[in-house]
Structure 1
Amino acid sequence: MQVYFDADADLSLVQEKKVAVLGYGNQGRPQALNLRDSGLRDLIVAARPGASADRAAADGFGVMTPSEAAAWADIIVMLAPDEDQGRIYGEELASNLRSGSALLFAHGLNIRFKLIEPKEDIDVILVAPKGPGTALRQLYLDSKGMVSLFAIEQDASGSAEAIALSYAVALGSGRAGIIRTTFAEECEADLFNEQAVLWGAIPELILAGYETLTEAGFSPEVAYFECVSEVKLIADLIHERGLAAMREAISNTAEFGALQGGTRIINADARTEMRRILREVRSGAFVQDLMKDAEAGYPRLRASRAKAAAHPIEAVGERLRKLTP
């Protein structure tokens, strides 16, 4: 595996481009701010009139509609929600993109599952920071960086890879590492992780542990500290040391408990479900479900948010978080 750093890219390539960041949310705002701080002069935000456009203007960015931005920009950075990108491309970008320009994504979903089929005369690039936008921004401000993956789907200009590396450096990723992948690999691995590990399994495991303790008569506060607060401890240890060395920082009792309990929870049935989730991701079944929910106004997603907000663990957490800076 080759890892690229600042010295392997030419930052001036993207500094000299006209760049439009389409979307000003969780990734759009941090990326736009990092790009500006990295010396991009011709940089605007593409957004329809509304809250996002108003916030971008308040942050000092020029604002264009997506169709205006497509006609103006050398690089359009697609940071609108995944489920809306296909409509935006078809209705506002496709007929306005100039030959030789670049369409740059932070997630491979729309290309992998052909929700967008780009014109053949443009570059199609992926630069995917591996973490939330808030962390991307804070690491940049701390003179550090977040690892990014990059990939090239179309290289109409002959310079797509150089542009991708230049853009990643402008985000600050050249300080940490930039790693080659493909649109399909990034998309499939990311969708799998979101469902089977990070955002799907871990919160459900926390809730199950909390409910098991409180149903058995343990106080909500003790259950919260055991099942929620200590998650940060293990996450930090794994990040700093790795899975094996993490065990050196815990007691023999905790390590032996992990030996006794871990594979009883993550057992053969759990691994079977993980494989099923991966098949659903790769087949496109998950994306079909996502698009159906979006088209219906997100009934499943809204119901899930309401259920999560109403869980007793939220009230306990709100109280206890005030105790810890």
Structure 2
Amino acid sequence: MKRLCSMIVLAIQMPPYVVSVHLDPNLNCGEEARSASSIRPMPTPSSSSDADPTGFRVAVLGYGNQGRAHALNLRDAGASVTVGARSGPGARLAESDGFLPVSFDAAVATAELVVMALPDEVHGPIWSELEAHVPHGCSVGFIHGFSIHHQRLKPRADLGVILVAPKGPGPTLRGRFVKGQGIPALVGVHQVGEADAELHVRRWGAGIGCARAALIPSSFAEECETDLFGEQAILCGGILALMRASFETLHDAGYSDEVAYIECIHELKQVVDLLYAQGPSAMHQAISNTAEFGAFVAAERLDSQELRGQLQSLLRDIQSGAFAQRFAEDAEAGHPWFNAKRSAHDAHAIESASAKVRETMPWLENDA
């Protein structure tokens, strides 16, 4: 079952808020991806005013890492932003940032775009309470394809259903915006309804700064499946599993936990920074011949058919919906498995070693 499609994206520096994104018409994305959620080129605006977010009425629901970045960036770009947040730390932070947080119902009352910046697992219950208050012809925006792709909610027919998924965490999205930069985002229109859905995608993408980099045409299906796979296989799952196994290997061999932490975890950032800024080849050029030779030796041993099989198994569970079902069932039960894993992770010797190493470099807190 092939879900992924190749695409060629052209993103060039143009006047503010003008975005140029093109699909190669000769590339086949596959009927399943097309039926799961429409993949279409986003038209190139003819002028900067077409995607100008000035005056765009946006309700941002939730004020976590992503919600805060979207709200602040949109406000700075000239949009009229209302934050919907329940009482708690998020609402207090919104107030300190100069917003007057209101109930979800009140936030959406006059919105042209409602941004669902809430945890995936609460989208369905909150939407069932909220939908009647969303204006006719409004667009509902998602920063992750999960809840639409897995049918956790189904917005009514007159509403646009759109995706702008920044490829980075909220603090990075905000930090780049403040510097006059941006990070790429996957974008798509799942349902046009009676909204100006594609224009809303462009205004939203411009308002949060992603149009400064690239708005990459995609779908809810592709974004959801590739995002989950990347998180599980490498970014959040695979890398932590490899770090933990490497740390434990040195610990079991009698090396100190602090040295094991530095070698297997702390130094990772220096290598990742090279990969992030310049790519794999430049990273190889920046390390010693001994390190590079050892990297090739280790890759031959670690990149096994067993590993590939496990990666394929992760992807199959994501594509089939098995992972989404497991996540939903654990959430409905109060997250017993999830919370147990969190507790075990927090109690690992890596955490105490990390604290001791970071005590020697208090300035690292400023890098977070």
Residues 210-249 of structure 1: pairs in structure 2 closer than 5 A: 210-249=247-286
Cα drift, residue 172 of structure 1: 1.1
> Residues of 2 paired with 1:115 and 1:198: CA distance?
25
- Show the counterpart of 2:73: 34
- Show the counterpart of 2:116: 78
Asked whether the equivalents of residues 43 and 62 of structure 1 are also in contact (C-alpha less than 8 Å), the reply is: no
Other structure's SS at 1:15 match: coil
In the superposition, the TM-score normalised over structure 1's length comes to 0.94
- Show the counterpart of 2:18: 7
Structure whose residues are more often helix by fraction: 1
Q: 2:327 aligns with which of 274, 279, 290?
A: 290
> Residues of 2 paired with 1:175 and 1:13: CA distance?
13
> Residues of 2 paired with 1:299 and 1:124: CA distance?
33
Q: Which shifted more, 64-73 or 162-171?
A: 64-73
Asked whether the equivalents of residues 53 and 77 of structure 2 are also in contact (C-alpha less than 8 Å), the reply is: no
> Residues of 2 paired with 1:158 and 1:18: CA distance?
13
The reply on whether 1:59 has 2:70 as its aligned counterpart is no
- Show the counterpart of 2:27: none
**Cα deviation code 1:93-118 (max 9, x no counterpart):** x2222221010000001111111111
Other structure's SS at 2:267 match: helix
Residues 79-118 of structure 1: pairs in structure 2 closer than 5 A: 79-92=117-130, 94-118=131-155
Structure 2 counterpart of 1:160, which letter? Answer: A
Residues 183-262 of structure 1: pairs in structure 2 closer than 5 A: 183-262=220-299
Aligned length: 323
Other structure's SS at 2:168 match: coil
Asked whether the equivalents of residues 120 and 147 of structure 2 are also in contact (C-alpha less than 8 Å), the reply is: yes
Q: 1:68 aligns with which of 106, 111, 120?
A: 106
Cα drift, residue 142 of structure 1: 1.8
> Residues of 2 paired with 1:18 and 1:169: CA distance?
14
> Residues of 2 paired with 1:86 and 1:140: CA distance?
31
Structure 2 counterpart of 1:17, which letter? Answer: F
Asked whether the equivalents of residues 206 and 228 of structure 1 are also in contact (C-alpha less than 8 Å), the reply is: yes
- Show the counterpart of 2:196: 159
> Residues of 1 paired with 2:331 and 2:223: CA distance?
22
Alignment RMSD: 1.6
> Residues of 2 paired with 1:216 and 1:34: CA distance?
49
Structure 2 counterpart of 1:180, which letter? Answer: P
Q: How many percent identity over aligned positions?
A: 41
Asked whether the equivalents of residues 152 and 182 of structure 1 are also in contact (C-alpha less than 8 Å), the reply is: yes
> Residues of 2 paired with 1:208 and 1:261: CA distance?
14
> Residues of 1 paired with 2:258 and 2:85: CA distance?
44
Q: 1:137 aligns with which of 143, 162, 174?
A: 174
Structure 2 counterpart of 1:237, which letter? Answer: L
Other structure's SS at 1:197 match: helix
Cα drift, residue 188 of structure 1: 0.4
Unaligned runs of 5+ in 2: 1-7, 20-44, 364-368
Cα drift, residue 175 of structure 1: 1.9
> Residues of 1 paired with 2:232 and 2:105: CA distance?
34
Other structure's SS at 1:72 match: coil
TM-aligned CA distance change 1:95 to 1:21, over 3 Å? same
Cα drift, residue 48 of structure 1: 2.2
Cα drift, residue 158 of structure 1: 5.9
Cα drift, residue 49 of structure 1: 2.7
> Residues of 1 paired with 2:352 and 2:221: CA distance?
40
**Cα deviation code 1:29-50 (max 9, x no counterpart):** 111111111111x211112233
Asked whether the equivalents of residues 53 and 78 of structure 2 are also in contact (C-alpha less than 8 Å), the reply is: no
Asked whether the equivalents of residues 3 and 178 of structure 1 are also in contact (C-alpha less than 8 Å), the reply is: no
> Residues of 1 paired with 2:268 and 2:256: CA distance?
18
Q: Which shifted more, 118-127 or 48-57?
A: 48-57
**Cα deviation code 1:64-115 (max 9, x no counterpart):** 21122233211100010000001111122x2222221010000001111111
- Show the counterpart of 1:122: 159
> Residues of 2 paired with 1:246 and 1:72: CA distance?
50
**Cα deviation code 1:278-317 (max 9, x no counterpart):** 1100111111111111111111221122111111111111
**Cα deviation code 1:252-284 (max 9, x no counterpart):** 111111111123223111110111111100111
- Show the counterpart of 2:317: 280
Cα drift, residue 322 of structure 1: 2.8
> Residues of 2 paired with 1:101 and 1:16: CA distance?
15
- Show the counterpart of 2:360: 323
Asked whether the equivalents of residues 162 and 201 of structure 2 are also in contact (C-alpha less than 8 Å), the reply is: yes
Unaligned runs of 5+ in 1: none
